[in-house]
Structure 1
Amino acid sequence: MSEHQFILEPYKTPSSRYTCPLCGRKRNFSRYIDVETNRHIADHVGRCNREQNCGYHYTPRQYFNDNATNSFRGTRSIIFTKPLSLKPSSTISMELIIKSLNRIENNHFITYLNTLFDDKTVNDLIDHYKIGTSKYWKGAVVFWQIDHTWKVKAGKVMLYDPESGCRMKKPYNHISWVHSILKIADYNLQQCFFGEHLLDLYPERPISIVESEKTAIIASVYFPEFIWIATGGKHGCKWTSHEVWKVLKSRKVVLWPDLNAFQDWEKKAELLKKQGLNIAISNLLEDFSTEDERASGLDIADYLIRFPYKQNWKEYYSRGP
């Protein structure tokens, strides 16, 4: 019986680096090869070299698990190269979350939510998503990333305008991380979806994925039949990597991309479908948006807040613009 061992293709010339199937960046993707035949496993089995900005990494083991009848199997056994010893992801104590929930009167983001919803709804959102407050900037919010096992992976600190609900980007972009603020040494940041802790609480509900934490929180009021989670940015928590998206297995998933990200998320949806996920992409914004709205890159929350949240906003759309 012959054996197979797989490694990332060593760099020889620029032609040995390919286009990443996720981010589309040319000459930045390393494919896995069979060391016996020097043959690629598949065009999408490999790792993007843009680890921080893209994070795509689809391993041979994942590929063969997803494609059990692949021709590499059969009479030959498969041996995988032993991965490097990886440092476990760091976590933050739950006590910090509890403390951050006690200063909501100084939270500009919560002040903004109070302009949209009644007190009970806002309090439910705070409890549901564990919306915290930071003293790093006056009025700053903490969006805690808590995984499905209730491990606190990270806390993103941001500042919003209390009236408009827009992020404060001047004189600089107000965004930081709890572990950076606390100067926690050697913190190994491995993010998860914002709102991921809700998945096991509502196992029968379909999942809606948006880009921003703000959007997930607001949309959850209008569409409570979904679990709303956020990637935390265009690439955000590296949600097309197996370690992140595996929590979506056996669930119905709908993507709600921002207007300026539809094509990018459409590619991501196709990529995740190949991994066996039950995933669809909403074209609601594409159908109703104007050219100006497209240029502004509006998201689903920008539309929802135009309508009374206690009424069926879908009726408004049926009337036309």
Structure 2
Amino acid sequence: MNRIDDAMVEATMRGYDRNNLFAFVAAIIGSDEAQRLMEMYRVGTSKHWHGATVFWQIAADGNVRGGKIMLYDRLTGHRVQEPFPHIHWVHSVLKLPDFKLTQCFFGEHLLPYIRDKPVAIVESEKTAILATHYLPQYLWLATGGKCSCLNREAIQALRGREVMLVPDLNATDDWRKKLTLFEESEIKATLFESLEQMATDDQREQGLDIADFLIAEQTPHGILEQMMQRNPALRQLVDALQLELVGIEDYKPSESSLKSE
């Protein structure tokens, strides 16, 4: 047995009012957009820990490969690590007999439906969700771990797609080594290194990722343009990706904000 019933996934697609990750994401981009993205990526609510999230790994063929349960702090968006790392798997919690976990990319189920965008791969599921809001020109997938799905078998789902690897700080060298796998599988892949090049020593020590740069000030999406003016690193990031952030063209600063600058 290596798949989970679809009905189990559907049963978790509710209860966002008690989902800590949803609360964090909604505070940044709004409840409606947060729910749209959670539903799009099939992110559910788990009862295993109060406030927990379940990230379903659904393959391109629609098979539910597994569900990873994680607990986040609803205010900081950080994973809860004390008194122990709060991470578990649905098949282990339910004690499913003879279950064999074969992981796939988080968000892989979107590949057959979104064919006109290049694919960007990050480590964290949370990062894939937030990056989809800010940088929708890419289809964002997550490995669900430092190199979890960067293996020969898992990347076959990416054949025929243009791929950009976007590692966390301090993981760039490890992910660069994975480019050989893509080349051997005849998958066009590049490595986004601008984060590593622009980061400070403190940011590297924290192991920040692209989402941390995008939401550094946790301000509403509409004032990202002002954020980029105040934060050259964020502007450099956007320029390096050659992308436009959603909603920037609609932003009109108030007279009071202009006078204060």
TM-score category by the smaller chain? 0.7 to 0.9
1:289-304 alignment runs, 5 A limit: 289-304=199-214
* 1:147-172 deviation line (CA, Å, top 9, x unaligned): 11111000000000000000001000
Say if 2:154 is the partner of 1:244. Answer: yes
Secondary structure, counterpart of 2:112 in structure 1: coil
* 1:226-259 deviation line (CA, Å, top 9, x unaligned): 110000001223x222x21111111010010001
* 1:1-38 deviation line (CA, Å, top 9, x unaligned): xxxxxxxxxxxxxxxxxxxxxxxxxxxxxxxxxxxxxx
Over the matched positions of the two proteins, sequence identity in percent amounts to 41
**d(CA) in 1 for partners of 2:146, 2:79:** 16
Task: Name the counterpart of 2:126.
Answer: 214
Higher helix share: 2
The letter of the residue matching 2:35 is N
Shift of 1:215: 0.7
The letter of the residue matching 1:254 is M
Secondary structure, counterpart of 1:294 in structure 2: helix
Shift of 1:319: 6.6
Secondary structure, counterpart of 1:259 in structure 2: coil
Unaligned runs of 5+ in 1: 1-88
The letter of the residue matching 1:180 is S
Task: Name the counterpart of 2:182.
Answer: 272
Task: Name the counterpart of 2:96.
Answer: 184
Task: Name the counterpart of 1:123.
Answer: 35
Secondary structure, counterpart of 2:146 in structure 1: coil
**d(CA) in 2 for partners of 1:234, 1:317:** 32
Residues 304, 313 of structure 1: 8 Å contact kept: no
Residues 240, 272 of structure 1: 8 Å contact kept: no
Shift of 1:277: 1.1
Unaligned runs of 5+ in 2: 234-261
Secondary structure, counterpart of 2:163 in structure 1: strand
Say if 2:79 is the partner of 1:170. Answer: no
Residues 215, 300 of structure 1: 8 Å contact kept: yes
CA RMSD of aligned residues (A): 1.8
Residues 109, 141 of structure 1: 8 Å contact kept: yes
Q: Normalising to structure 1: TM-score of the pair?
A: 0.69
Q: 1:141 to 1:249 in 2, by over 3 A?
A: same
Say if 2:141 is the partner of 1:229. Answer: yes
* 1:265-299 deviation line (CA, Å, top 9, x unaligned): 01112332232111001112023210111111110
Q: 1:319 to 1:300 in 2, by over 3 A?
A: closer
The letter of the residue matching 1:121 is E
Q: 1:165 to 1:318 in 2, by over 3 A?
A: closer
The correspondence for 1:103, drawn from 4, 10, 15, is 15
Residues 19, 52 of structure 2: 8 Å contact kept: yes
**d(CA) in 1 for partners of 2:229, 2:222:** 15
Residues 147, 175 of structure 2: 8 Å contact kept: no
**d(CA) in 2 for partners of 1:169, 1:183:** 24
Residues 221, 309 of structure 1: 8 Å contact kept: no
The letter of the residue matching 2:5 is S
**d(CA) in 2 for partners of 1:222, 1:313:** 12
Worse-superposed segment, 150-159 or 99-108: 99-108
Whose RCO is larger (CA < 8 A, sep 6+)? 2
Secondary structure, counterpart of 1:157 in structure 2: strand
Task: Name the counterpart of 2:249.
Answer: none
For the pair shown, the structure with the greater C-alpha radius of gyration is 1
Task: Name the counterpart of 2:62.
Answer: 150
Residues 207, 252 of structure 1: 8 Å contact kept: yes
Q: 1:220 to 1:296 in 2, by over 3 A?
A: same
Shift of 1:131: 1.0
**d(CA) in 1 for partners of 2:207, 2:25:** 21
Secondary structure, counterpart of 2:77 in structure 1: coil
Secondary structure, counterpart of 1:155 in structure 2: strand
Residues 127, 211 of structure 2: 8 Å contact kept: yes
**d(CA) in 2 for partners of 1:97, 1:207:** 24
Secondary structure, counterpart of 1:260 in structure 2: coil
1:80-91 alignment runs, 5 A limit: 90-91=2-3
Task: Name the counterpart of 1:203.
Answer: 115
The letter of the residue matching 2:151 is T
Task: Name the counterpart of 2:240.
Answer: none
